[in-house]
């Protein structure tokens, strides 16, 4: 039981319901009740002292914290559900038999390392730029890959925000383009694709290969595995798994 009242977004996140941003949307949509009354954003509550429900289901802390990694294939949305009935990454981790949510996003046509958890604080540490979690991608591009790599090492304006890659390496040159190894921190919506476009190249395939010290390694496409205690601690400042 929590000792004091906290913002509902934080309670929902810490209980593994969703990220804080998604929890706020749930509240706005009227899906969250506190003591039988629709909640409002910014509202304070205390889990245990107040009756909190989401979609009619009473909220309780998860029995155990779960942390897994998936090698996401192309063609899946990185969301819990899709109103249009399209495939989501939740189908690929359905056999975990725990309520999980994806940490951050990879767009429909991107692949690679995607984390899942029921620990909202851990998810926030991975996603928020203030924690400086580097994310590395391999982008196969068409166009002048050498010039794009050079341009991408300098600040670029994307949707009114100035972004800059931590590092960009042309790891392979081809007749039509090449493969860029790009490391960033911000992780804005479709950032890698937009950076490539701004630098004159088009993305053919995009794959996330690492988050912080965690690497995708040889995990097969569409497969998942639990993170080790060491991996979780390295990513989330001391969180411990209980598989």
Q: Is 206 found in the same domain as 141?
A: yes
The CATH number linked to 54 is 3.10.290.10
pTM: 0.79
Q: Is 111 found in the same domain as 143?
A: no
Integer distance in angstroms from the first to the last C-alpha of the chain? 22
Q: Assess whether 107 carries a catalytic annotation.
A: yes
pLDDT tens string 171-219: 999 999 999 999 999 878 899 999 999 999 999 999 999 999 999 999 9
Q: Is 229 found in the same domain as 180?
A: no
Q: Is 140 found in the same domain as 119?
A: no
pLDDT tens string 7-39: 898 888 777 677 778 889 999 999 999 999 999
Count of domains for the chain: 3
The CATH number linked to 194 is 3.30.70.1560
In this structure, is residue 243 part of a structural domain?
A: no
| Residue 156: band (very low, low, confident or very high) from pLDDT cuts 50, 70, 90 | very high
In this structure, is residue 242 part of a structural domain?
A: no
Q: With pLDDT > 70 as the criterion, what percentage of the chain qualifies?
A: 93
Q: Is 121 found in the same domain as 221?
A: yes
Q: Which of 107, 119, 159, 229 is catalytic?
A: 107
Q: Is 221 found in the same domain as 126?
A: yes
Please give the residue range of the domain that contains residue 225. Answer: 67-130+217-236
Q: Is 138 found in the same domain as 124?
A: no
């Amino acid at each position: 039981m929590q000792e004091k009242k906290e913002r509902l977004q934080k309670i929902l996140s810490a209980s593994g319901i969703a990220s804080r941003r998604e929890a706020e949307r749930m509240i706005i949509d009227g899906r969250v009740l506190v003591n039988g009354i629709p909640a409002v954003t910014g509202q304070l509550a205390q889990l245990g002292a107040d009756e909190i429900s989401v979609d009619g289901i009473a909220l309780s802390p998860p029995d155990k914290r779960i942390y897994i990694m998936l090698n996401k294939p192309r063609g899946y949305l990185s969301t819990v559900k899709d109103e249009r009935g399209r495939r989501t990454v939740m189908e690929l981790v359905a056999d975990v038999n725990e309520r999980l949510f994806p940490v951050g996003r990879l767009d429909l046509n991107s692949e690679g390392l995607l984390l899942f958890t029921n620990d909202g604080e851990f998810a926030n540490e991975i996603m928020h730029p203030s924690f400086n979690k580097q994310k590395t991608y391999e982008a196969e591009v068409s166009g002048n890959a050498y010039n794009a790599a050079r341009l991408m090492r300098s600040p670029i304006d994307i949707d009114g925000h100035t972004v800059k890659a931590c590092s960009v390496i042309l790891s392979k040159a081809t007749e039509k383009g090449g493969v860029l190894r790009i490391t960033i921190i911000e992780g804005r919506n479709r950032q890698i694709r937009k950076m490539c476009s701004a630098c004159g190249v088009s993305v053919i395939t995009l794959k996330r290969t690492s988050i912080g010290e965690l690497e995708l390694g040889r995990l097969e496409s569409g497969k998942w595995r639990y993170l080790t205690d060491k991996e979780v601690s390295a990513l989330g400042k001391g969180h411990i798994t209980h598989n």
